[in-house]
Structure 1
Amino acid sequence: MAKEYQKNSMFIEHSTQTTGVVLENGDFRKNVDEDGRPRRTGTWLTASAHIITAVIGSGVLSLAWAIAQLGWVAGPAVLMAFSFITYFTSCLLADCYRSPDPISGKRNYTYMDVVKSYLGGRKVQLCGLAQYGNLIGITIGYTITASISMVAVKRSNCFHKHGHQDHCYISNYPLIIIFACIQIVLSQIPNFHELSWLSILAAIMSFAYSSIGVGLSVAKVADGGAHARTSLTGVTVGVDVSGTEKVWKTFQAIGDIAFAYAYSTVLVEIQDTLKAGPPENKAMKKATLVGILTTTLFYVLCGCVGYAAFGNNAPGNFLTGFGFYEPFWLIDFANVCIAVHLIGAYQVFCQPIFGFVESKCYNRWPENKFITKEYAVKIPFHGIYYINFFRLVWRSLYVIFTAIVAMIFPFFNDFVGLLGAASFYPLTVYFPIEMYIAQAKPPKYSLTWIWLKILTWVCLIVSIVAAAGSIQGLAQDVKTYKPFKVQQ
């Protein structure tokens, strides 16, 4: 029989003040950090897994298309530029986790908490709007992308059986429902601190399908067939695209690469899983370096080798878009890896949403038993699991919401690009730089101050350009949208 109690783990997770005595099933809780929250056990290795899971999405396989739009010169250059920018600003943000001192200051549990500590005012609301709007968009986009990968498995088998000319149309609605059912179960994981195993599994899956994509591309290059047409400047005006299309596709490609690196929306939440020693900012910088180097390596391999294999005709995704048809079993395995990875990535991006809503509800209605009470249930081979009915209902409804939107708007990935364009500048660049300036206080118009301001303005222009490209792409998708067919 379930045993209920109050002042439970949810209280510890969401309390904004240090608790002197915290009870769990009548016993004193000993294993807590200095602020009364459960002691963190994360390391730079688990943080690296979270970062890799968040950064390497299935979009890595669309980088061949992005390089095709930019060419051999600009493509790799843009990749390297954004890897540096992301690493630089992520290190600045890591130093702001504690305030005012990056080592001994007060912990900030979320991105909004960090902005509130250093900047305050309306910027806190703007940060929340950008962060949580982007997270909601990403979870919906991942629902669509995962279903497309699962559909690709069925289509691959269909093509193998009936030939490559068969249409093999398969509805992704049942697979979206299956994905949602899995997420409803996983969403009952209470918080980020217990997601390490899922992130490690997802990171392994990302390595697997990225390696398969690179391997198939290398095999295609070495096959000795018709040589793929590539160029220093990418797709050729008058041959592959018109002048206008070249401009829009270049904007979209820059946006794809820029937002492929954006994980600042969950950086603070990832850092909050790190144990207190060594200092969290040092461990997070190490994890960031490992994560960015790893993802950049795979990005360059997938983008450049994929472009060499397909040239200016590179598909948007050469696994789900069927740049390859054979060996079909290997294509199936790669797409299964994509789906498994996105199952984990979905959780990495939705956990901050869950934590934010549950914290607000607890603080607003601390006496509401539906929100605060948990019930201890003994599960075979697992031990005690604590069920909270508010968490069960609200998280399930959120997953159902993302699934319904994914079914209604199968081209929603373009909305994610637009949301990314709106959030990249404030979350990855503007807020980290402004908070560093508030913390370090470099003299106005000094070399450091001028360099940071130039970087801010350049990234603002890039975000505006990428947003324009996303809007144009969205308009085209709406025009060509065909209901009840999988949008690849």
Structure 2
Amino acid sequence: MTFIHVGIVLSTGINSAYALGYAGTIMVPLGWTGGVIGLVLSTLISLYASTLMAKIHEYGGKRHIRFRDLAGFLYGRTAYSIVWASQYANLFLINIGFIILGGQALKAFYLLFKDDHRMKLAYFIAIAGLACVLFAIAVPTLSSLRVWLAISSAFSLIYLTIVFVLALRDGINSPPRDYSIPGSKISRVFTTAGAAGSLIFVFNTGMIPEIQATVRAPTVDNMLKALYFQFSIGSVPVHVVTYVGYWAYGSSSTSYLLNNVSGPVWAKALANITAFLQAIIALHIFASPAYEYLDTKYDIKGSALAIRNLAFRTLVRGGYLALTTFLSALLPFLGDFMSLSGAISAIPLTFILPNHMYMIAMKKNLSSLQKSWHLLNIIFFSALAAAALVAAFRLIAVDSKTYHTFADFAFALGYAGLIMVPLGWVGGVVGLILSSAISLYASTLIAKLHEYGGRRHIRYRDLAGFMYGQTAYSLVWASQYANLFLINTGYVILGGQALKAFYVLFRDDHQMKLPHFIAVAGLACVLFAIAIPHLSALRIWLGFSTFFSLVYICIVIALSLKDGLEAPPRDYSIPGTKNSKTWATIGAAANLVFAYNTGMLPEIQATVREPVVNNMIKALNFQFTLGVIPMHAVTYIGYWAYGSSASSYLLNNVSGPIWLKGMANIAAFLQSIIALHIFASPTYEFLDTKYGVTGSALACKNLAFRIIVRGGYIAITAFLSALLPFLGDFMNLAGAISTFPLTFILPNHMYIVAKRKKLSFLKKSWHWLNIIFFSCIAVAAFVAALRFITVDSTTYHVFADL
């Protein structure tokens, strides 16, 4: 393409329907001075960073047609993977925003004719998502979009012109407006940081090398001309609409300016419909890299109308957009997602990486002053990204507390400490049984792949690496260790709760708080970790662990039965409002998964005798039949005895002889120490191997290493446990971040890859349905867990005594 064509494409991108939100998301939190200076500075800095990228497009004597290719060429394979993930995360967040925009536009159109409040924003977001699915199926390739780019530009021109004219008229006819920055001093700090993320979001997509790949030679010179066009003439509309909108409506400007304007119904309707249609086309443009990657990966070629290709687009693109739409309806806070996208990906891809890449590429030609300038940019924008990320999560949390779930805005309060309390009898029992059955099914899928390709895969990450490559190996490795860390956080909290419950039996003076007991539990774990150097040294302790478990389970069952028989009728109603019940249910879904899975099945299977697969399946059948009976029994009897007052540590509920309760709490405390060591052992052994720790366990060097490294690991775990001692929340978080992907999503996809030649289309569709469904649940559970931690953190002080 010529530089003019590229300049127009870039300009169309920044003048998308997102431009209707900047008056509310940038000007309102920053005011006239901050907003105008911020937008102008963002324009100049974005131009500067983009030119840095453009200048190294042909670095090393070859063209780098993708951002990740350039990163891989400069830094290596790991950077390639990280940039790849960042770009697709960026595009995903941008697409969430486009679906929210489409839903807002449709709702605004509907309200022009029928303001009955029956149709909520979530419904319109669902319709927008369906429209995007149909468009994605109908437009198979990016090259098919050419005519639609012109239509998109026409739509942008229509709604920007209408908004400009109507806002100008409203501003002239209105009395003086309030331009003060709303909120308290603290909230302004966070909204300013969030607005900084939005400022970066305005002008950047993180796809400069990909766009430059379409430019005619001389590539660098023509791309620079295109960028100058984008950031001069091309940026005029977005600046004008933003300033005029804020001038007309002041601090009441919304994140969708068409909700503010007044004027002829036909003009507002036309603007909203064109904004809706442009959002669909724009989403398809930003989703196309993901679509084309999947098409290439799964060898989709030939006629776009072939049944196989149509089915693939319907299933895969539909699944992608279903997940996007679900999250959009769940948290339809457009400004917050602009901040989040700016923080997570736009700032790193637009400012941090370009400056560092330019330093690497031009290091021989740069003076020390120039190098210092680029380093200053890297440090400043890294700090800004961190601040914007925190602010974005806070804004999402605050907005989700203010509005209702799946109503006009979403989210509500809820606390899911256990499984039965938030789900009740029917949901809890059915959920636990279903979770057992589904976990057994997913585990057998992984077990059957243990010898895939004619070799044994003794680690989960080895299997992932064998099937997908080094990147998948690294991701699964990280997920497993994150899972283990969160599990260990839970064990430290459990140990602290058990110690506190033991202490309170004898001296309930409230002088010793839960964080103190968590610290003691952490110290005990450190001493145990130093004393037990290898996993093989744990054998006798596994027997003790089983004994301790038997002790406290038997005591809890006996005392709960006694309490249940003697107590008056209990309240089994699910606590909370309708909205909080929704979120508590989502959190409980993560707890259900957490109950049965560790994400370490191949590692366990590596210890099984031949025939490995058959014996492992027998072991799994045992685990999910006889093995789950004690857990089911304790859960049901505890809920039966105490109803909705059952706590996340059942020994806090039981009554009975002090010596029995004391014994149960001490047994639970000691078992937590041993269990933590089991789940921490893979981390310990990885570090021992990495740093060459060999020889006698009592050698001074080895002792010092265990004290510093294992002590440091547990110190971090204990500190986080004491800081946020919300056990149920960490169970939710562990389930969402790692257990869902490792237990349900990856096994289904691995099975498709391994057995693709033997699976029918119906079976493949079944596995894809599992992947999409559990991905949606994982995302929802992750958001719920963050929400619960945020809410509990604001309800209680850090280092709270629960």
After TM superposition, the score normalised by the length of structure 1 is 0.71
1:148 corresponds to which of 497, 507, 521: 497
Secondary structure in structure 1 of the residue aligned to 2:696: strand
Which residue is equivalent to 2:666? 336
TM-superposition CA deviations, 1:68-104 (whole Å, max 9, x none)? 3222222111101111121122222223333423xxx
Q: Does 1:214 align with 2:548?
A: no
Whole-Å Cα distance in 2 between the matches of residues 376 and 253 of structure 1?
Answer: 42
TM-superposition CA deviations, 1:267-321 (whole Å, max 9, x none)? 23323334xx3333333333323233345312321222222212233333221xx
For the 8 Å contact 1:251–1:465, the answer to whether it is kept is yes
Unmatched 5+ stretches in structure 1: 1-61, 160-166, 363-370, 379-384
TM-superposition CA deviations, 1:163-200 (whole Å, max 9, x none)? xxxx6352345544443343334335444444333233
Which residue is equivalent to 1:24? none
1:100 corresponds to which of 453, 458, 474: 453
Which residue is equivalent to 1:278? 610
- Alignment-mate amino acid for residue 260 of structure 1: A
Q: CA deviation at 1:341?
A: 1.6
For the 8 Å contact 1:150–1:175, the answer to whether it is kept is yes
Whole-Å Cα distance in 1 between the matches of residues 577 and 510 of structure 2?
Answer: 31
Which residue is equivalent to 1:245? 580
Matches within 5 A, 1:127-206: 127-158=476-507, 168-188=510-530, 189-206=532-549
Whole-Å Cα distance in 2 between the matches of residues 332 and 77 of structure 1?
Answer: 33
Which residue is equivalent to 1:50? none
Alpha-carbon distance change, 324 to 273 in structure 1, aligned in 2, over 3 angstroms: same
TM-superposition CA deviations, 1:89-132 (whole Å, max 9, x none)? 2222223333423xxx2x33322112112222422222122211
Q: CA deviation at 1:388?
A: 6.7
Which residue is equivalent to 1:288? 620
After TM superposition, the score normalised by the length of structure 2 is 0.45
For the 8 Å contact 2:418–2:647, the answer to whether it is kept is yes
Secondary structure in structure 2 of the residue aligned to 1:454: helix
Whole-Å Cα distance in 1 between the matches of residues 536 and 614 of structure 2?
Answer: 19
For the 8 Å contact 1:192–1:269, the answer to whether it is kept is no
Larger mean CA deviation between 478-487 and 426-435 belongs to 478-487
- Alignment-mate amino acid for residue 645 of structure 2: N
Whole-Å Cα distance in 2 between the matches of residues 63 and 412 of structure 1?
Answer: 10
For the 8 Å contact 2:420–2:635, the answer to whether it is kept is yes
Whole-Å Cα distance in 2 between the matches of residues 282 and 431 of structure 1?
Answer: 21
Alpha-carbon distance change, 241 to 399 in structure 1, aligned in 2, over 3 angstroms: closer
Alpha-carbon distance change, 282 to 356 in structure 1, aligned in 2, over 3 angstroms: farther
Which residue is equivalent to 2:635? 303
For the 8 Å contact 2:561–2:637, the answer to whether it is kept is yes
Whole-Å Cα distance in 2 between the matches of residues 269 and 88 of structure 1?
Answer: 18
Whole-Å Cα distance in 2 between the matches of residues 288 and 262 of structure 1?
Answer: 11
Secondary structure in structure 2 of the residue aligned to 1:109: coil
Unmatched 5+ stretches in structure 2: 1-414
Which residue is equivalent to 1:226? 568
Which residue is equivalent to 1:89? 442
Whole-Å Cα distance in 2 between the matches of residues 397 and 65 of structure 1?
Answer: 30
Which residue is equivalent to 2:763? 448
For the 8 Å contact 2:725–2:799, the answer to whether it is kept is no
Which residue is equivalent to 2:598? 263
Q: CA deviation at 1:414?
A: 2.4
Q: Does 1:69 align with 2:422?
A: yes
Q: CA deviation at 1:64?
A: 9.3
Matches within 5 A, 1:26-37: none
Larger mean CA deviation between 125-134 and 438-447 belongs to 438-447
Whole-Å Cα distance in 1 between the matches of residues 516 and 640 of structure 2?
Answer: 36
For the 8 Å contact 1:170–1:485, the answer to whether it is kept is no
- Alignment-mate amino acid for residue 409 of structure 1: L
Which residue is equivalent to 1:17? none
1:471 corresponds to which of 786, 794, 801: 786
Larger mean CA deviation between 210-219 and 92-101 belongs to 92-101
- Alignment-mate amino acid for residue 601 of structure 2: L
Whole-Å Cα distance in 1 between the matches of residues 429 and 576 of structure 2?
Answer: 21
For the 8 Å contact 1:442–1:448, the answer to whether it is kept is no
Whole-Å Cα distance in 2 between the matches of residues 278 and 392 of structure 1?
Answer: 39
2:733 corresponds to which of 385, 400, 418: 418
Largest Rg, 1 or 2: 2
- Alignment-mate amino acid for residue 314 of structure 1: A
Which residue is equivalent to 2:677? 347
For the 8 Å contact 2:724–2:799, the answer to whether it is kept is no
Secondary structure in structure 2 of the residue aligned to 1:195: helix
Alpha-carbon distance change, 341 to 295 in structure 1, aligned in 2, over 3 angstroms: farther
Alpha-carbon distance change, 426 to 442 in structure 1, aligned in 2, over 3 angstroms: farther
Q: Does 1:126 align with 2:475?
A: yes
Larger mean CA deviation between 322-331 and 344-353 belongs to 322-331
* Greater fraction of residues in helix: 2
Which residue is equivalent to 1:109? 458
- Alignment-mate amino acid for residue 623 of structure 2: G
* Greater fraction of residues in strand: 1
Whole-Å Cα distance in 1 between the matches of residues 446 and 453 of structure 2?
Answer: 13
1:374 corresponds to which of 695, 700, 703: 695
RMSD of aligned alpha carbons? 2.9
Whole-Å Cα distance in 1 between the matches of residues 617 and 483 of structure 2?
Answer: 24
For the 8 Å contact 2:461–2:473, the answer to whether it is kept is yes
- Alignment-mate amino acid for residue 346 of structure 1: L
Which residue is equivalent to 1:10? none
Alpha-carbon distance change, 458 to 299 in structure 1, aligned in 2, over 3 angstroms: farther
For the 8 Å contact 2:491–2:672, the answer to whether it is kept is yes
Alpha-carbon distance change, 174 to 64 in structure 1, aligned in 2, over 3 angstroms: closer
For the 8 Å contact 2:648–2:728, the answer to whether it is kept is no
Alpha-carbon distance change, 241 to 403 in structure 1, aligned in 2, over 3 angstroms: closer
Q: CA deviation at 1:417?
A: 2.4
Aligned length: 387
2:711 corresponds to which of 371, 377, 396: 396
Greater relative contact order (Cα < 8 A, sep 6+): 1
Alpha-carbon distance change, 87 to 201 in structure 1, aligned in 2, over 3 angstroms: farther
Whole-Å Cα distance in 2 between the matches of residues 261 and 221 of structure 1?
Answer: 27
For the 8 Å contact 1:110–1:269, the answer to whether it is kept is yes
Alpha-carbon distance change, 95 to 149 in structure 1, aligned in 2, over 3 angstroms: same
Which residue is equivalent to 2:750? 435
Secondary structure in structure 2 of the residue aligned to 1:482: coil
Q: Does 1:79 align with 2:429?
A: no
Whole-Å Cα distance in 2 between the matches of residues 317 and 98 of structure 1?
Answer: 40
- Alignment-mate amino acid for residue 644 of structure 2: N
